[in-house]
Structure 1
Amino acid sequence: MKRSRRFKRVAAKPKPKKPIPATALVDADDDEETRPLQRFEGPITELSVDKMAILPFSFFQIDALDLAPRLLGKFLRRDDVVLQITEVEAYRPNDSACHGRFGITARTAPVFGAGGHAYVYLCYGLHSMLNVVADKEGVGAAVLIRSCAPITGMEIIQQRRVQKTDKPVLLTGPGKVGQALGLSTEWSNHPLFTSGGLEILDGPEPEKILVGPRVGIEYALPEHVNALWRFAVAGTPWISAPKNTLRPP
């Protein structure tokens, strides 16, 4: 499989990524899941989402820093709710901001599982934060889903969020995404590459992305605080604050 360009570990200017042709995103060891990841033009509709394949297990078996930008434009689906991923953050091994720094505990054990599983934790005891585990089993890395755009199930999203609005405030923040999907920590370890429950579907690769430092990790080492490991779709309003720290790569 052709690998996407890896972003640098620290806050140096990363080199621009080249778009990955849809026909190149094929995993040779997927058996019946072996297929080109689909590219769709024009507005996303419920019909086009229904045609999109669930991303295979092997899609997630890469470094979190490679996986994070590749998740932009993909879809999270739980029952009638479909969200398109617009902003993410990478958390890696030996990263002083990663939950894996604590080692394997009852809370962090899912982070050390195989890539493609969910890791959901509570922030401030209130907000369910959805992460996608990255890399091979035992590595301890994940990608936090920071923001999404709604595709289907708006009424359910609004009910769960207790907000009757269709503005970006509805889904711009990781706690809001977890609430919109109706998640709890019981979803940790859920396989996102299988049908049923919570799934990640293929979606269009963004034309342009933005990068910047991660949010709310002031406790981490300076090289990790400043690392450009936050990624967002350029040109969309569905991005969380602060936006002024995001720049083209």
Structure 2
Amino acid sequence: MIAAKTSPAFKRTSSKKLTRDNSAATRNRARIAAAPAPAPAPPQPPPIMPRSFFEVDSLDLAPRLLGKLLRRDGVVLRITEVEAYRPNDSACHGRFGVTSRTAPVFGPGGHAYVYLCYGLHMMLNIVADREGVGAAVLIRSCSPVSGLETIQERRGQKTEKPVLLTGPGKVGQALGISTAWSHHPLYTPGGLELLDGPEPESILIGPRVGIDYAMPEHVNAPWRFAVAGSPWISAPKSTLRPP
């Protein structure tokens, strides 16, 4: 005689255990929800511009410098106005040939050329083109990006208005540089660096400032460049026009 099959026995889970399990799951979900989100990665600083960036005609380099960043000792400035100085240019220091003062302007592209003007102002230029050419771009004005307190202290002015940095002597003072910075490569980390920055939407051009001693064709040459719409531009502004 074949025994009748019986249904398998299932162990009933107690309602108390289900309640405990559900409570634990709820607590876990609450802990996960309450856990702080991982901190976002800090933004990467803009890259330093390579040496090849500078090894072009100063008239090509000048407008490309607009929007780029100068960095030294926690101070970061955005370039807003520049002037190009070229070989065979009667307004360029290179017209005197290689002297103890002008030697840096004949150095490799991407090096700094700093000279003292009127015994007061340190003027920062960025050497352009190949070594031996004798061309550079003068940094006329900048806007502050970081290090405002240091800039104000160096300038001796507690202001955030454009007067703080509109003029080449003011830029040199804000960066705390001297003629000892001549020959310094701006494309290597440390010291004074040129970093990448956003290209301006539009620019203005006009004749350079304070070069009445030069030949007429060089006095009137539109080799001054500025960021259109920026208040961080030195006087005179009336001579600047869209290209």
Q: TM-score, normalised by structure 2?
A: 0.82
1:162 to 156, 174, 178: 156
Q: In structure 2, how many angstroms separate the alpha carbons of the residues matched to 1:59 and 1:165?
A: 34
Structure 1 residue 150 and structure 2 residue 155: aligned?
no
- Structure 1 match to 2:130: 136
Quote the offset at 1:79 in angstroms: 1.7
- Structure 2 match to 1:102: 96
2:196 to 202, 208, 212: 202
- For residues 47-83 of structure 1, the C-alpha deviation after alignment (integer angstroms, 9 at most, x for no partner) is 76x5200000000000000000000000000021000
C-alpha RMSD of the superposition: 0.8
SS of residue paired to 2:126: strand
| Structure exhibiting the larger radius of gyration computed from Cα positions | 2
Q: Percent identity?
A: 80
- Structure 2 match to 1:85: 79
Structure 1 residue 247 and structure 2 residue 238: aligned?
no
Please tell me the residue identity of whatever aligns with 1:163: Q
Q: In structure 2, how many angstroms separate the alpha carbons of the residues matched to 1:57 and 1:112?
A: 15
Structure 1 residue 73 and structure 2 residue 67: aligned?
yes
Structure 1 residue 119 and structure 2 residue 110: aligned?
no
Greater fraction of residues in helix: 2
Q: Please, which runs of 5 or more residues in structure 2 have no aligned partner?
A: 1-41
Q: In structure 1, how many angstroms separate the alpha carbons of the residues matched to 2:47 and 2:177?
A: 22
**Matched residue pairs, number?**
202
Q: In structure 2, how many angstroms separate the alpha carbons of the residues matched to 1:186 and 1:203?
A: 26
Q: In structure 1, how many angstroms separate the alpha carbons of the residues matched to 2:199 and 2:105?
A: 26
Please tell me the residue identity of whatever aligns with 2:80: T
Q: Please, which runs of 5 or more residues in structure 1 have no aligned partner?
A: 1-46
SS of residue paired to 1:69: helix
Q: TM-score, normalised by structure 1?
A: 0.80
Q: In structure 1, how many angstroms separate the alpha carbons of the residues matched to 2:51 and 2:236?
A: 33
Q: In structure 2, how many angstroms separate the alpha carbons of the residues matched to 1:177 and 1:118?
A: 14
Q: In structure 1, how many angstroms separate the alpha carbons of the residues matched to 2:123 and 2:233?
A: 16
- Structure 1 match to 2:181: 187
Q: In structure 1, how many angstroms separate the alpha carbons of the residues matched to 2:62 and 2:230?
A: 17
Structure 1 segments (4+ residues) deviating >3 Å: none
